[in-house]
Amino acid sequence: MRLTGKRVIALVDDEFEDLELWYPVYRVREEGAEVVLAGSTAGATYTGKYGVPAVADRSWDELDAADYDGILVPGGWAPDKIRRYPAVLKLIRDFHEACKPIGQICHAGWVLISAKILKGVTVTSTPGIRDDMENAGAVWKDEPVVADGHIISARRPPDLPPYGKAFCDALAGSGES
């Protein structure tokens, strides 16, 4: 329970990749962290690509990065929607400026690209957005998980176990398990 007292935001919108939302959410909860699901509308139900629902506890507009210790951005097609909201981009930039853990997997890199925080950062993602990541100034690697400071990235669902561990390690403030 090394994450007891930590608070994490998990972003949601329709067509999130079900495993890429729920696996990290449950992983940080297992370690004691509180997770708040956040969407454009508090109380709204968002549906994953494979039909798993997620109800937003809060709206993006009512969140302040200062009140949380980390943020998770799932993949799927949701990141292409999520990145269009100024409140989300501000949250991502605020977490980045505070050097708080930002977890992103698969297509979630699109949100970090739109927040303009990837210049010089070493990351991974689904290979399908490699060019997007590199064009945003990131150094892209084809590895299961890449941690560059407080930005933790992974490629796809098979990488979830090491991604979950790396995000929890960052949230705990150590590389120990």
90-145: pLDDT as tens digits:
999 999 999 999 999 999 999 999 999 999 999 999 999 999 999 999 999 999 99
Q: Which of 122, 118, 124, 123 is nearest to 158 (CA)?
A: 124
Please report, for the chain, the start and end positions of each structural domain, with discontinuous segments joined by +.
7-172
CB 152 within 8 A of CB 96: no
| Average pLDDT of the residues of the chain | 96
Distances (CA, A) of 25 to 5, 8, 90, 166: 15, 9, 22, 13
Residue 35's pLDDT is 98
Phi first, then psi: give them for residue 107, nearest 5 degrees: -80, 0
Overall average pLDDT of the 30-54 stretch: 97
Query: CATH top-level class for 7-172?
Result: alpha beta
Catalytic residue IDs: 107
pLDDT above 70 (res 177): no
Cα distance between residue 110 and residue 62, in whole Å: 22
List, in sequence order, every beta strand (DSSP E) within the chain.
Answer: 7-11, 34-39, 45-47, 53-55, 58-59, 70-73, 102-105, 122-123, 139-140, 145-148, 151-154
